[in-house]
Structure 1
Amino acid sequence: MSSFSEIDYQRQLIVSSLDDFTPNAALPNVYGGQFGGSTDMWKRAVIEFLCVNVKCGLIEAIHRKELSANEGAHRLKNILICGGDENHIDMDIVWNALYFNSTPRLDEILERLNMRTWEALKLDLSGTFIAELKDVYGHN
């Protein structure tokens, strides 16, 4: 993982613990989101976000368990870049049809930090949460 927008990761991970989301709905403030002026950069940021958090066991694909956990991160990246070749599914459809949510591991972290609420989306950056993320990312 190169770098990440800490506040955007924090907010997206909170959202994932409260509701499911598609890749197109992820990181809406990074590079202007899906409809911003830098969609290629936004897509790369979303792919990185999804893959690192799937690999670390913080989020999972709801209906595609084979795309979850460490082994699934590589396959997920390929599907997000190339589409669902095995089923001849266009990449644009994949970005609207894949749904993700948090895992119990992420839920536990957010609960412990009192951040598993819609109100937590208004919080400033939590140094404690980001430190935990960096620790999780560093061990995977």
Structure 2
Amino acid sequence: MFSFPANDYQQQLIVAGLDDFTPNAALPNFWGGQYGANPEVWKQAVLDFLCINLRCGLIEATHRPEISQHRDVQALKVILTQGDMENGLPADIVWDVLYFNGTEMLNAMLEGANMRTWDALALGPDSRFITELTSLYERSATE
């Protein structure tokens, strides 16, 4: 079974369905976010979150169609770890300027669970939504 921090993923996906976000704004409660006790663990968790959700088609890089259209996880990893060489942006800047947003698929999932509202951020993990995510993640791992 695919394991992930359900509450953190659910909250970040709700945000993605309502607004855009940068990697530095992702998973703010996981290990205290970018300024928490272990920023490297948080950073890897954000990278994992972005990659799995890009691969599954739940999020897209807002202004980077070359990443989103092909769900190019490798290109995403490179730009977040090595920077955007083409545009002369170091990785730490990319984490502040690369935006992501939810896709129609994510919006449909959130609406189906009545969680496409800011109020849904206060909810605990929704078992049906988490089961659907787990299934998507497991299928994407075998593709």
TM-score (norm 2): 0.93
**Offset of residue 69 of structure 1:** 5.2
Q: Structure 1 stretches (4+) deviating beyond 4 angstroms?
A: none
- Note the aligned Cα RMSD (angstroms): 1.5
Distance in 2, matches of 1:26 and 1:118, equals: 16
Distance in 1, matches of 2:88 and 2:3, equals: 32
Distance in 1, matches of 2:135 and 2:3, equals: 14
Instruction: Look up the SS of the partner of 2:89 in the other structure.
Output: coil
**Offset of residue 86 of structure 1:** 2.4
The count of corresponding residues between Structure 1 and Structure 2 is: 140
Distance in 1, matches of 2:70 and 2:48, equals: 14
Residue 61 of structure 1 corresponds to 61
Structure 1: unaligned runs, 5 residues or longer: none
Aligned AA for 1:78?
Answer: V
Residue 109 of structure 1 corresponds to 109
Q: How does 1:1-140 map to 2 (within 5 A)?
A: 3-68=3-68, 71-140=71-140
**Offset of residue 60 of structure 1:** 0.3
Instruction: Look up the SS of the partner of 1:101 in the other structure.
Output: strand
**Offset of residue 99 of structure 1:** 0.4
TM-score (norm 1): 0.95
8 Å contact from structure 1 (residues 31, 38) kept in 2? yes
Structure 2: unaligned runs, 5 residues or longer: none
Distance in 2, matches of 1:138 and 1:69, equals: 21
Distance in 2, matches of 1:125 and 1:24, equals: 23
Aligned AA for 2:67?
Answer: L
**Offset of residue 30 of structure 1:** 0.7
